[in-house]
Chains A and B, each alone.
Chain A
Amino acid sequence: MPAKDALTERYQDLLSVYLKAKTETTLYKGQQFSRKLLEQQISPEDLVSLHIQVMDELFPDMSEEMRDSFDFLLEAMIGYGFAYREHQSLRDKQQQLESEIEVAASMQQTLLLSDVPDFDDLDIGVVSVPAKKMNGDYYNFVKSGNSLSVAVADIIGKGIPAALCMSMIKYAMDSLPDEQMKPHLLLENLNRVVEHNVHSNMFITMFHGVYEPESHKFYYAGAGHEPGFIYNAKEDQFHDLIAKGLVLGVSRTTTYHPYEKEIEIGDMVILLSDGVTECRTNKGFIEREEIVSLIRKYMDLPAQKIVENVFQELDRLQGFELRDDFTLIVLKRLV
């Protein structure tokens, strides 16, 4: 093995130099050399063997005990060699998985793209950012006739299982009849689909609402989802948008309560996923009041600017590391 002889020679050079004058430079060169060894996949026990060979060469009169001690070291090193080789193998495996996930993530992006529709009466802003590569939050806008429906869901469990679940919801929703389904009935339908199909430890929180511009009414229902907010322009007050209901997937027979609210000009409907309320800053969990004050700070801006600014501030507060998928939607009535 010519390659190995070259390495042996190099190691011998470095070691002899070091033994003569124990300089930091030589130690540094030694480390760079070990990097080269790693590149060539030389195992730990190979290195010990290399050392023995070189020592034999440099000190032919080495004591018996010294020599034997190296043999002992070699044996002990095999264990480290096991770990090293497994590590290499696992790294390769991980790289392969990573690239598969990349592919899946970009497929998901394409499949689940939801455009923010143009809707005359409402200024709509959306931001949805995954914590990892695949987004476990789901949001969907559907324009049907004159109405606009909006859904926000959080699939419990992160990563791939959650994303698969989300695809299922999307297809279930897409296959529902075109005529406007009341939010509470839609949730009942979805609940049955989810309960039938998901793993027992999974569940989905969801909020669904429909805005009808003729009546300026917002009909909505919730399945265990983090309450959003509603901003009343006349009072200049934010209120919790409560829509009580059991999360999807627990029981086949769950029913949901229909809610409705009048939306005046200047009012805002704010929907979010719990990635927003799970934000942790240095001081601890963020309070809902803080989110409200952030929205208030930017509320005179267009809806898209509001959500982007709020996201940026919360992102910054968390050190740019999201703990959970983050979704924030603002609907502002213009006319």
Chain B
Amino acid sequence: MNLQINQEQINETYELKLAGEVDAYTAPKLKEVMLPLTEKEGNIVVVDLSGVEYMDSTGLGIFVGALKSSKAYNSSLKLRGMTERVKRIFEITGLTEVMDIESEVKGEAL
């Protein structure tokens, strides 16, 4: 039920480091931070999910919304550092095929 969002910016690249849970309670907060960043052409939004222990479908919905927005505004959205559990929901829902998702840096087999 808690989510920390650390934001860093270098020129047009915005890095969001998330820690905690992305669920129905914390999703609005993430949306508030992430969505506006995708609404500018040329912005690069990188979201680091290595600290995310749990995400539910509401959280996933926020990423779906961000994906649609980035397509509409011509910005780019990348996700990285997902744990196995979180990656699984992106895989089952087919989002790994349409989103820019890097596998965990810690030498996880693809």
Contact = CB atoms under 8 A, between A and B. Distances in A.
Contacts of A324: 56
A201 B62 contact: yes
B69 interface: yes
Q: Is the interface of A mostly helix, strand, loop or mixed?
A: loop
B31 A201 contact: yes
Given A200-B69, A250-B68, A224 B93 contact: yes
A246 B61 contact: no
Given A201-B64, A203-B61, A274-B57, A246 B24 contact: no
Contacts of B57: 154, 156-157, 274
Interface residues of A, number: 25
Nearest to B61: A201
A320 to B, nearest CB: 20
A68 B85 CA distance: 63
Interface residues of B, number: 20
* Interface of B (DSSP majority class): helix
B58 A200 contact: no
B97 A156 contact: no
A224 B92 contact: yes
A168 interface: no
A203 to B, nearest CB: 5
B18 to A, nearest CB: 17
A183 interface: no
Interface of B: 24, 31, 56-58, 60-62, 64-65, 67-69, 85, 92-95, 97-98
18 contacts: A156-B57, A156-B61, A157-B58, A158-B58, A200-B68, A200-B69, A201-B31, A201-B65, A205-B92, A205-B93, A225-B92, A244-B94, A246-B97, A250-B67, A250-B68, A250-B95, A274-B57, A285-B85
